[in-house]
Structure 1
Amino acid sequence: MNNKGQTLALFIIILPLLLLACAVIIDTSLITYNKVKLNSITRTIIKTSIERNDKDDIIKLYNDNNIEYEKIEISFEEGLHIKIEIKIDSLLGKVIGKNYYIIRTSLIGTKEDNVIKIKKG
């Protein structure tokens, strides 16, 4: 590749691939960050609300933590079971037609011998 024109042409061909790879990395990081944040907040809410049995209090805790949920299901059978679904906007996925991502989590908290156990539900 001694010719300057060949190098420029190769750069122009590879540039969109590099931008696409960056977009995938950024969107994947955004999804992972929000999934970890949602799981962490849900675990904390289960630990603080397992004995109260108050759905309104749990919803208020999500609102206090700036979690804008699309769908939430709370049940107190077999401990505290929370299923929550949030929608996050895509930063660069709009290029490929993906305007938002849906993140779901489902956790069950039980209290046995004054120890709170949390598992995926």
Structure 2
Amino acid sequence: PLHRHRCVVAFGDTDASGWMHFPNAFRDAEAAEHEFLRSRGVLVFDRAEGGWPRVKAGAEFKRPLLPGDSIEVLLRISRIGGASVTWEFEILNPGGEPAVSGTMTSVRVNAAGRPQVLSQEERDALG
């Protein structure tokens, strides 16, 4: 993986069944993405300079994640386009087994919300 992010499933992150509610997997994957971008000095969001809105996301849920579970998000880049980045993520349960896998695509936009070609500096920072 390009980046690892660790966190704990909170009680409020679960649904009535006691399992992590599905949008929270995307929240944790996004937290890993933002942590990685900040660690590389890449802008996450600035009203004057734009950001990286999500344009596509999908996931497969394989195993439950329960309140109190220490989980690990593994993040990698699968594609860098002209103005976009597609991320692959996998969330491991406390036993190290894949619980969720998915992809997210973000587009670099300027302050007006229009796609902005990634600079060479941004490409280099992404690895």
TM interval, shorter chain, is 0.3 to 0.5
Q: Which has the higher contact order (CA 8 A, sep 6+)?
A: 2
Structure with greater Cα Rg = 1
TM-score (norm: length of structure 1): 0.36
TM-score (norm 2): 0.35
